[in-house]
């Protein structure tokens, strides 16, 4: 009997092979499940599996899902560090992640529970019977994936785009290492928290021995059931967050998607900026409404720019109030965020809470700010410099986490995440 078969003649699963061969066989086994297997899966997909079902978002496509996708209710963001020096193990990991992501995007388990009752199942199982819940996976490469401590880790340093480098330090930053950086990242979003957690758990399980978890943060918005009608999400300060965002294909091409001129493997991809922003809720909750409105430059209830009637009205920064002062204060969040209008980004933020900060006996909560843009240093950085210098909101927030990642374009069936880079 072959070592790759059971007594009944069927091939062993990857998990069974791992138990027979030990960790030393990991690279070989993953490689054996590479592009050919992905292509075979692709050939079996029918229209329904391609994402025509209302509750599914296709994994394969021109762009990675989870960027232009309408934000789902829940999000898990994981930052990972590589523990291997072998580029083939990294490549094989991305092949496995691709196959797993494609299955989970269709609400499929990653393996058959009946294979062998004496080894761990190939799927952790908590999403069995649940829908796909519009789950999306967005993968990114950090600057340290290419170079770390002056070393070209995988011989790919010459492929690192100039847009991918650590963000500068901004005035007022209180960045904590435990919420910053990472060789890789995965943003998993879904309309069900258990579905999203199941995905993260299985990605980490698959990556064991190749990556280690650096940090992780969950985020949330309002649920579809709670929302009376479609509207812009509100942050924990009670203000609408994401009113001004690109919405047309032309907008995305100008603001979000890379054309690959800086690095061919980034074509149809985007650069992600992550900032973990703690909100000082107890201080904010003692602030009167007029000051809250002036801080954001918008009406709290309607979301309209001060001096206007509706949320999507164009802010008039020249309009005066009854005292002859600018209706929208010059140090307000909306004024400084807009600048001269030349820098624009896609915001995809989620609220977070880590329950209580025991050192202060206060709520530990805030905003996991995530933005996508063609060039962080021409778009995000100028905006943040203006805000860090004089934004009224700085009195109520602290930036405690920071990272930047290059998210390549989407994968085609028969390929895998980042295959143009490798």
* Per-residue pLDDT tens digits for 130-144: 999 999 999 999 999
297, with CB counted inside 10 A (0-12, 13-18, 19+), is: buried
Confidence (pLDDT) at 201: 98
- Neighbouring residues of 169: CB distance < 8 A, sequence distance ≥ 6: 175
pLDDT of residue 142: 98
Residue 205 near residue 125, CB atoms below 8 Å: no
pLDDT > 70: percent of the chain: 87
pTM greater than 0.75: yes
Classify each residue of 359-386 as buried b or exposed e, where b means 16 or more C-beta atoms within 10 Å of its C-beta. Answer: eeeebbbbbbbbbbbbbbbebbbebbeb
Of 106, 148, 141, 98, the residue nearest 127 (C-alpha) = 106
Fold exhibited by the domain 11-45+56-142+181-224: Alpha-Beta Plaits (3.30.70)
> Around Cβ 105, how many Cβ atoms within 10 Å?
23
Does residue 246 surpass a pLDDT of 60?
Answer: yes
Q: What does residue 267 show for φ and ψ, rounded to 5 degrees?
A: -55, 130
| pLDDT on residue 114 | 67
Distance CA 378, CA 237 (A): 28
Beta pairing partners, 170? none
C-alpha torsion sign, points 304, 310, 313, 319 = negative
Domain with CATH 3.30.70.1030 in the chain: 11-45+56-142+181-224, 154-180+232-412
The set of residues, in sequence order, having a beta carbon less than 8 Å from that of 121 and lying 6+ positions away, is 15, 111, 113, 115
> Are the CB atoms for 373 and 382 separated by under 8 Å?
no
Q: 10 pLDDT exceeds 60?
A: no
Question: Sorting pLDDT into bands at 50, 70 and 90, what band is 53?
Answer: confident
List, for residues 287-346, the tens digit of each pLDDT value: 999 999 999 999 999 999 999 999 999 999 999 998 899 999 999 999 999 999 999 999
Q: Provide the pLDDT for residue 21.
A: 38
Dist. CA 263–CA 158, nearest whole Å: 10
154-180+232-412 under CATH 3.30.70.1030, yes or no = yes
Please provide the DSSP assignment of 316-330 as one string: -TT-B-TTSSBSS-T
Question: Taking a C-beta distance cutoff of 8 angstroms, is the pair 220, 75 a contact?
Answer: yes
């Amino acid at each position: 009997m072959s070592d790759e078969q059971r007594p009944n003649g069927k091939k062993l699963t990857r998990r069974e092979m791992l138990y027979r061969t030990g960790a030393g066989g990991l690279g070989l086994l993953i490689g054996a499940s590479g592009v050919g297997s992905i292509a075979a899966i692709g050939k079996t997909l029918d229209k329904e599996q391609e994402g025509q079902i209302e509750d599914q978002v296709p994994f394969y496509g021109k762009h990675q899902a989870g960027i232009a996708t309408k934000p789902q209710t829940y999000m898990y963001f994981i930052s990972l560090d590589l523990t291997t020096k072998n580029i083939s193990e990294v490549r094989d990991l991305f092949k496995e992640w691709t196959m797993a992501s494609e299955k989970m995007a269709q609400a499929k388990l990653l393996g058959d529970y009946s294979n062998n009752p004496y080894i761990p199942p190939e799927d952790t199982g908590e999403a069995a019977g649940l829908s796909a819940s519009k789950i999306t996976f967005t993968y990114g490469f950090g600057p340290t994936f290419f170079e770390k401590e002056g070393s070209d880790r995988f011989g790919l340093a010459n492929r690192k785009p100039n847009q991918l480098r650590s963000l500068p330090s901004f005035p007022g930053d209180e960045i904590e290492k435990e919420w910053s950086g990472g060789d890789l990242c995965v943003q998993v979003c879904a309309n069900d928290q258990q579905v999203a957690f199941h995905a993260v758990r299985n990605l980490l399980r698959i990556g064991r021995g190749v990556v280690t978890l650096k940090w992780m943060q969950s985020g949330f918005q309002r649920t579809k059931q709670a929302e009376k009608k479609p509207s812009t999400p509100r942050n924990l300060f009670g203000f609408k967050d994401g009113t001004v965002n690109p919405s047309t294909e032309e907008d995305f091409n100008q603001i979000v998607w890379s054309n690959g001129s800086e690095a061919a493997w980034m074509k149809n991809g985007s650069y992600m900026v992550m900032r973990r922003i703690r909100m000082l809720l107890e201080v904010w909750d003692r602030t009167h409404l007029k000051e809250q409105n002036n801080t954001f430059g918008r009406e709290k209830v309607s979301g309209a720019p001060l001096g206007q009637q509706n949320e999507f009205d164009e802010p008039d920064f020249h309009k005066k109030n009854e005292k002859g002062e600018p209706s929208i204060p010059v140090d307000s969040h909306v004024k400084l965020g807009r600048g001269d209008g030349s820098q624009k980004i896609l915001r995809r933020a989620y609220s977070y809470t880590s329950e209580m900060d025991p050192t202060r006996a206060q709520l530990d909560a805030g905003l996991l700010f995530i933005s996508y843009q063609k060039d962080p240093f021409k778009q995000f950085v100028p905006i943040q410099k203006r805000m860090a210098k004089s934004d009224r909101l700085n009195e109520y927030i602290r930036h405690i986490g920071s990272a930047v990642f290059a998210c390549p374009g989407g994968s085609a069936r028969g390929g895998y995440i980042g295959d143009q880079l490798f």
